[in-house]
Structure 1
Amino acid sequence: MAGEPQADCLFCKIVAGEVPATIVRETETTVAFRDINPQAPTHILVIPKVHYANARELATAEPAIAGDVLREAGELAAEEKVDTTGYRIVFNTGPGAGQTIFHAHAHLLGGCDLQRLV
């Protein structure tokens, strides 16, 4: 059921503490951790603790939590000191966009010239 943890979801396992991750911040509704295959010097994933397959499903069912994900990404950009040089918040939705884990998540990217990353 949407919103409920999924036994086969890597990110649900990270939320539950069953899989290790380099967690940089946690709130009541989100968990943020460093990407294991970073595409920029700052590459943090911000995920909702509730399970929805993609950004659209999350925004439709839980708009406040979708807002929490965006707010946390912005707060982390400031903590990582990329807020003044520029950063991206990216939601890949669907396999054609590069989504490989079907639990909504935002990528916070910064710390380099992001124009090279398309």
Structure 2
Amino acid sequence: MAETIFSKIIEGSIPSKKVFENERIYAFHDIQPAAPVHVLIVPKKPIPSLNDIGDEDLAVIGEIHRVAVQLAGELGIADSGYRVINNCGADGGQTVPHLHFHLLGGAKLGALTGISGSHA
């Protein structure tokens, strides 16, 4: 898989405002937030999209969701509510070919548009 902005952020060659990291997952604040809280949660393994998840990736996908719940609590949005979004493919709004999930909250969320993978 070609190097992406997310792989560069994970390796540290592009700076980010990290909120979580372990050996499989990296999470950081989006630089163009669509909500008061907007964090991207990315597997370190370069999986191009949701369509490319293999059986060997199922554990990290579950862990990503556990991290989303953990971060929602740490960032103060668990009780008021939040959204976890994945865009898959060009028509789904995915602009970076590296699987990632958006954690959004901190305000009443209506119909959101412009949530793409281009934000780091």
Fold shared by both chains (TM-score > 0.5): yes
Offset of 1:27 from its aligned partner?
Answer: 1.4
- For residues 48-105 of structure 1, the C-alpha deviation after alignment (integer angstroms, 9 at most, x for no partner) is 0000111232354400011111111111000011000000000000111111111000
For 1:56 and 1:72, locate their aligned partners in 2 and report how far apart those are by CA, in whole Å.
21
Q: What fraction of aligned residue pairs are identical, expressed as a percent?
A: 39
Residue 114 (structure 1) aligns with: 109
User: Which runs of 5 or more structure 2 residues have no equivalent in the other structure?
Assistant: 114-120
For 2:102 and 2:58, locate their aligned partners in 1 and report how far apart those are by CA, in whole Å.
18
Q: Closer, same or farther in 2 for the Cα pair 1:96/1:60, shift >3 Å?
A: farther
For 2:30 and 2:65, locate their aligned partners in 1 and report how far apart those are by CA, in whole Å.
17
Of 81, 89, 92, which aligns to 1:86? 81
Secondary structure of residue in 1 paired with 2:91:
helix
Residue 103 (structure 1) aligns with: 98
**TM-score scaled by length of structure 1:** 0.88
Secondary structure of residue in 2 paired with 1:115:
coil
For 1:49 and 1:82, locate their aligned partners in 2 and report how far apart those are by CA, in whole Å.
25
Offset of 1:15 from its aligned partner?
Answer: 1.1
Residue 22 (structure 1) aligns with: 17
Number of matched pairs: 113
Of 59-68 and 107-116, the range deviating more from structure 2: 59-68
Residue 50 (structure 2) aligns with: 55
User: Which runs of 5 or more structure 1 residues have no equivalent in the other structure?
Assistant: none
